[in-house]
Amino acid sequence: MDQAKGPRKGRAIGKTNDVNADLIAVVVAVNDAGPCVLTIEEGGALPSGPFELAHRSLQSGLRAWVELQTGQPLGYIEQLYTFADRDRVGANQRVISISYLALTREEDTGASGRRSWASWYDYFPWEDHRSGRPPIVLEELRPRLIEWADGADDGATRFDRRRRAAVAFALDGRAWNEELALQRYELLYEATLVEEAKRGGVSAILASVPGRSMIADHRRILATAIARLRSKIKYRPVVFELMPPLFTLLQLQRTVEALSGRLINKPNFRRLIEQQELVEKTGATTAETGGRPAQLYRFHHTILDERPVAGTKLPLARA
């Protein structure tokens, strides 16, 4: 990553005994094509950089690196997870990566020579079920996972692998759980079916399944962010961080569907939104929907002060 002009006043923290501390950002927006993630290195990496003495805090350091590398200012941000597995970025290196999830609006996702936005379904094509189960699940993943499971040396391990594959990918009549994005990627990694698992001298006899790879474990970090966001939109109204100031209920529904990778029952969704009083009418309408003018709404910000957290749920109402 290009860090030559970075805010590198002072030495990096965590250098003792060859241990480094990095800050990694998963910046998410939603456009007409669906959920997208901010990337660098032609889509092969997430914005990141070392935590340094000059940084006032972890968040200020992250914001500095993201703006330097991409020109993208950050709004909503929350800590995601700390990754410290041995050899996660290469042999004889120990890097502790503190990752953050950031949300931005579509109008802030313009093109830039320093950044690119990529659909997160390019990295995880098995995750988008808005048009039904993707063919890749049954045509490619299922037979490859069964082959991997049956290749175990003992019956208990074979049974456990088959069970985990069935739960993760909704096989054998099981229901799809959109929140298991990380478990699905990690299972494919364990089965050596993703490109990242073949690095560092691991056998590359088996071909990787479709899906763009990323450097180090950045795709694992992205999967962690997807799982977190899919879960969080059900109990906190963070989806509004991705919406323009004024929106229609259909735009809100399409955004939730894009994030979850699932379709939503329209009447149930609208009833839930209205019952929770998460939005309020503006009195304005728009004809951009192609049909009769649609009501424009805004997020009811004061609801966060008026209710306990449990009352701000945004559950998915599936068809």
What is the reported pLDDT for 308? 53
Instruction: List, for residues 145-161, the tens digit of each pLDDT value.
Output: 999 999 999 999 999 99
Measured distance CA(180)–CA(167) in Å, rounded: 9
**Average pLDDT of the residues in 250-274:** 91
Give the model's pLDDT for residue 44. Answer: 95
Helices 181-190 & 155-169, crossing angle to 10 degrees? 140
Residues 234-239, mean pLDDT to the nearest whole number: 88
pTM: 0.87
What are the structural domains of the chain?
15-122 (3.90.79.10), 125-210 (no CATH), 237-306 (1.10.10.10)
Q: Which residue has the higher pLDDT, 242 or 19?
A: 242
User: Which phi and psi (to 5°) does residue 39 adopt?
Assistant: -135, 165
Whether the pLDDT of residue 215 is over 60: the answer is yes
pLDDT confidence band for 135 (50 / 70 / 90):
very high
Compute CA distances 245 → 25, 37, 229, 285, 303, whole Å. 24, 21, 20, 13, 16
Helix (H) or strand (E) holding 181: helix 181-190
User: What are 302-315's pLDDT values in tens digits?
Assistant: 776 666 543 345 55
Has residue 17 got a pLDDT over 60? no
| Residue 195, burial from CB neighbour count under 10 angstroms (0-12, 13-18, 19+) | middle
Any residues with CB less than 8 A from the CB of 295 and at least 6 apart, and which? 248, 249, 281, 282, 284, 285
**Would you place residue 90 in the very low, low, confident or very high pLDDT band (cuts 50, 70, 90)?**
low
Token pair of 131 as six digits: 């048009």
Least confident of 12-21, 82-91, 145-154: 12-21
CA 129 vs. chain centroid, Å, equals: 15
